[in-house]
Chain A
């Protein structure tokens, strides 16, 4: 029977907040920020110069933009029970394509450059989708192929060199500002808004979660699992391409060897910190976004505190472990009972 929810007692509401998927990632972020507040109050300073805002917080959001886009696609792929290791390489391909188009003066229109580069990224993503759905290759293997080959393709396009260029319009993508904030932030916000609209106002999100949760039952229910998966890999490709364009535009050059290197791991990490299970099923884009911001805040914090660069990765992984433990209900329960036992013995 359905019990109509009347008034929710305060305690229940508190626990509802605590069991919300957003609570623990946000708590971790708050913890990280308050650490900065204590050790370095200037971390929160924001300046306004020449119509543009400056400051560590703005910097975090700006630098988080590429991984945020990667993590958007990655969340969806992971929700279907897959994974995409090739996003870093797709970034390189998209960057190389745009740089090649500009430096060889093939096209000059910004929109054409974007359309062609993102089109190539879409194809790359659909290639992954093809391997996973039509050929039934395990996602980790299927995308590993493009992870390796993709960087090679990008190097072929740039002839193995850093292809520099100058294009006034294109440079705006990574370097421009909108409403006083880096344009990349607006790109991320628009992408997430569009994705949420597409996923939650249609049945796509439900189908993705259904496929990830139980692929066989979904097939029996008449959901076109293969078509959905195929499209999701395509979307992931486009998102990765866009991330690649932001970075390429920012440095005004395509570095096929290094752009987006290892960033697929950051994207996966952000998804996991955001609480989407690697086994697929339920996903949440908003918590993924929080996960991205946590990762970038961490990196920036380490850098601004003047910690030697060689410690960065170790500190980062230590904090990631702590965040993961905090999010595990099992761990919290064990800590709680340990704490209570300690109190009783006193």
Chain B
């Protein structure tokens, strides 16, 4: 790493209707460094990247590449200037060959026709720079995601990248592939390329980067040398909360004796490679378990594994003492599980159907198609839940997509409560919900656990997890690293566990 500044961002601001996504952000990038860009949800990382690459034009502020003002250039011009981006989802064309993908739009030609020989040999040379020896005439989709990721990088690098932006490149890679990617990154930085590295994996940040910049809610918090910023300091800067030492007095609730309660579900060593490391878990009746961890730490993955959306490749699952294998959500539902997924629109709501139909759907599916609920029964169930969950809708028969976000969330919750589950998994139950509805949902969750329902809550808001849970399982980098219960449960303790990491 040299001290030569290659990219400078000064006073960048960008607003969207109702949100200030970037507020006076400055950033400086040196030649040959790996610069980690960190921040939680909505911190402004993606907006910043899009401003750098010309997809958004900023409201104010300037971007300089090697002293030249590039703030007002178009995406393709910026790319030729030397800033390349590789996104989380490989945006290449899977059905074309590796060589075609690398040279798409700028194929070497002889008399108007593509010069395949030159293209393939050039592609081989580009990949050799990254220490990659593959058959470039093969279809891109025949290679692993990691290789595809490298091909995307090769394409970027070949278009003369002085700055390479890697936006969550490792989120779908396994350990070995991450190592492979890192060696490519080291090679590139040795040649003088500056790399902006965006990831949710803290350990990877510390393994590869030289400096770390932190954004929070659109504000630039600072840039730090890696050595000067221990993990817990980084986390507190990302979350805007200070982590005091482990002993924290602001704890809550008296510890309850879990042994008295009956075990409902036991997961022993359940996991799937490249998805989530094996976890051990016991869920008691009438207990709320919180899953805490940063984004991408494996919270939703656990929920999907338990609910049969994704099948584990190791471990065993017991429900009330009997071993179960959930090959689909349907099997899990029949054993009394219920799951409110994080992505309400995609995985939860049936937008076109009415509020009433959405509420009774899971119960009806559980009963089977021939034992239909009558109109009167449907109406009664829907009305009961609309009343008890305080769902605001003018009409039972209104398409559910016309409701506000908070009410939609309550409809999905009502659907699962109507199915009379024994174990309810809630993934981000309060996301996109206003304050009133938020408190309402928290109150409902607490009430349900008093009635003996076992509940698992996943939430990004640490406060919420700490407030609701009887036990908290802390996750980091798709590993279960700690379990807190009773007096130990506090925001500070969760944060310090994440910072310390495991093992």
Do A and B belong to a common assembly? yes
Check A202 against B392 for contact (C-beta < 8 Å). no
Instruction: Tell me how far the C-beta of A294 lies from the nearest C-beta in chain B, rounded to whole angstroms.
Output: 24
Among A203-232, those with CB < 8 Å from B are 203-204, 206-207, 209-210, 213-214, 216-224, 228
A2-B393, A202-B372, A203-B373 known; A220-B348 Cβ under 8 A = yes
25 A–B pairs (Cβ distance < 8 Å), ordered by A: A1-B393, A3-B395, A203-B365, A203-B368, A203-B372, A206-B353, A207-B369, A209-B350, A209-B357, A210-B353, A210-B357, A213-B351, A213-B353, A216-B346, A217-B347, A217-B348, A217-B349, A220-B341, A221-B361, A222-B334, A222-B365, A223-B330, A224-B330, A281-B352, A282-B353
- Report the bound CA distance from A222 to B395 in whole Å: 26
Residues in A whose Cβ lies below 8 Å from that of B284 = none
Residues in A whose Cβ lies below 8 Å from that of B341 = 220
Check A209 against B366 for contact (C-beta < 8 Å). no
- Count of A-B contacts judged by CB separation below 8 Å: 88
Identify which of A2, A3, A228 gathers the most chain B CB atoms within 10 Å of its CB.
Answer: A2
B333 within 8 A of A: yes
Among A233-283, those with CB < 8 Å from B are 281-282
Check A221 against B365 for contact (C-beta < 8 Å). yes
Residues in A whose Cβ lies below 8 Å from that of B330 = 222-224
A201 within 8 A of B: yes
Residues in A whose Cβ lies below 8 Å from that of B350 = 209-210, 213-214, 217-218, 221
A220-B329, A222-B329 known; A206-B361 Cβ under 8 A = yes
**Chain B proximity mask over A1-20: 1 for CB below 8 Å, otherwise 0:** 11100000000000000000
Residues in A whose Cβ lies below 8 Å from that of B352 = 209, 213-214, 281-282
Give chain A's interface residues, CB within 8 Å of chain B.
1-3, 201-204, 206-207, 209-210, 213-214, 216-224, 228, 281-282
Residues in B whose Cβ lies below 8 Å from that of A218 = 350
Among B370-392, those with CB < 8 Å from A are 370-373, 383, 386, 392
Residue of chain B at shortest CB distance from A200: B372
B396 within 8 A of A: yes
Check A222 against B366 for contact (C-beta < 8 Å). yes
B48 within 8 A of A: no
Instruction: Tell me how far the C-beta of A8 lies from the nearest C-beta in chain B, rounded to whole angstroms.
Output: 12
Q: Which of B329, B370, B394 contacts A219 (CB 8 A)?
A: B329
Instruction: Tell me how far the C-beta of B370 lies from the nearest C-beta in chain A, rounded to whole angstroms.
Output: 5
Residues in A whose Cβ lies below 8 Å from that of B339 = 220
- Report the bound CA distance from A220 to B348 in whole Å: 8
B364 within 8 A of A: yes
Residues in B whose Cβ lies below 8 Å from that of A3 = 394-395
Instruction: Tell me how far the C-beta of B368 lies from the nearest C-beta in chain A, rounded to whole angstroms.
Output: 8
Instruction: Tell me how far the C-beta of A228 lies from the nearest C-beta in chain B, rounded to whole angstroms.
Output: 8
Instruction: Tell me how far the C-beta of A10 lies from the nearest C-beta in chain B, rounded to whole angstroms.
Output: 19
- Report the bound CA distance from A201 to B334 in whole Å: 23
Check A223 against B395 for contact (C-beta < 8 Å). no
Among B327-362, those with CB < 8 Å from A are 328-330, 333-334, 339, 341, 346-353, 357, 361-362
B216 within 8 A of A: no
Residue of chain A at shortest CB distance from B379: A2
Residues in A whose Cβ lies below 8 Å from that of B329 = 219-222
- Report the bound CA distance from A263 to B478 in whole Å: 55
Q: Which of B333, B347, B365 contacts A207 (CB 8 A)?
A: B365
Check A221 against B362 for contact (C-beta < 8 Å). yes
Instruction: Tell me how far the C-beta of A3 lies from the nearest C-beta in chain B, rounded to whole angstroms.
Output: 6
Identify which of A2, A222, A228, A282 gathers the most chain B CB atoms within 10 Å of its CB.
Answer: A222
**Chain A proximity mask over B303-346: 1 for CB below 8 Å, otherwise 0:** 00001010000000000000000001110011000010100001
Residues in B whose Cβ lies below 8 Å from that of A216 = 346-347
B415 within 8 A of A: yes
- Report the bound CA distance from A207 to B360 in whole Å: 11
Check A217 against B346 for contact (C-beta < 8 Å). yes
Identify which of B333, B341, B353, B393 gathers the most chain A CB atoms within 10 Å of its CB.
Answer: B353
Instruction: Tell me how far the C-beta of A108 lies from the nearest C-beta in chain B, rounded to whole angstroms.
Output: 36
Residues in B whose Cβ lies below 8 Å from that of A220 = 307, 309, 329, 339, 341, 347-348
Check A2 against B347 for contact (C-beta < 8 Å). no
Residues in A whose Cβ lies below 8 Å from that of B349 = 214, 217
- Report the bound CA distance from A297 to B392 in whole Å: 46
- Report the bound CA distance from A209 to B339 in whole Å: 21
Instruction: Tell me how far the C-beta of A231 lies from the nearest C-beta in chain B, rounded to whole angstroms.
Output: 10
Residue of chain B at shortest CB distance from A214: B350
- Report the bound CA distance from A203 to B366 in whole Å: 11
- Report the bound CA distance from A220 to B330 in whole Å: 7
Check B372 against A209 for contact (C-beta < 8 Å). no
Check A221 against B393 for contact (C-beta < 8 Å). no
Check A2 against B415 for contact (C-beta < 8 Å). no
Check B386 against A2 for contact (C-beta < 8 Å). yes
Instruction: Tell me how far the C-beta of A275 lies from the nearest C-beta in chain B, rounded to whole angstroms.
Output: 13
- Report the bound CA distance from A216 to B364 in whole Å: 17
- Report the bound CA distance from A166 to B260 in whole Å: 80
Residues in B whose Cβ lies below 8 Å from that of A223 = 330, 361, 365
Instruction: Tell me how far the C-beta of A301 lies from the nearest C-beta in chain B, rounded to whole angstroms.
Output: 35
Instruction: Tell me how far the C-beta of B366 lies from the nearest C-beta in chain A, rounded to whole angstroms.
Output: 6
Q: A206-B361, A210-B353, A222-B362 are in contact. List 16 more A-B contacts (CB 8 A).
A: A1-B393, A2-B396, A3-B395, A202-B370, A209-B350, A210-B350, A210-B357, A214-B346, A216-B347, A217-B348, A217-B350, A219-B329, A221-B362, A221-B415, A223-B365, A224-B330
Residues in A whose Cβ lies below 8 Å from that of B365 = 203, 207, 221-223
Residue of chain B at shortest CB distance from A1: B392
- Report the bound CA distance from A71 to B362 in whole Å: 30
Instruction: Tell me how far the C-beta of A201 lies from the nearest C-beta in chain B, rounded to whole angstroms.
Output: 6
Residue of chain A at shortest CB distance from B392: A1
Check A210 against B394 for contact (C-beta < 8 Å). no
Residues in B whose Cβ lies below 8 Å from that of A206 = 353, 357, 361, 364
Check B383 against A203 for contact (C-beta < 8 Å). no
Residue of chain B at shortest CB distance from A224: B330
Check B364 against A2 for contact (C-beta < 8 Å). no
Instruction: Tell me how far the C-beta of B184 lies from the nearest C-beta in chain A, rounded to whole angstroms.
Output: 35
- Report the bound CA distance from A224 to B383 in whole Å: 27
- Report the bound CA distance from A219 to B347 in whole Å: 9
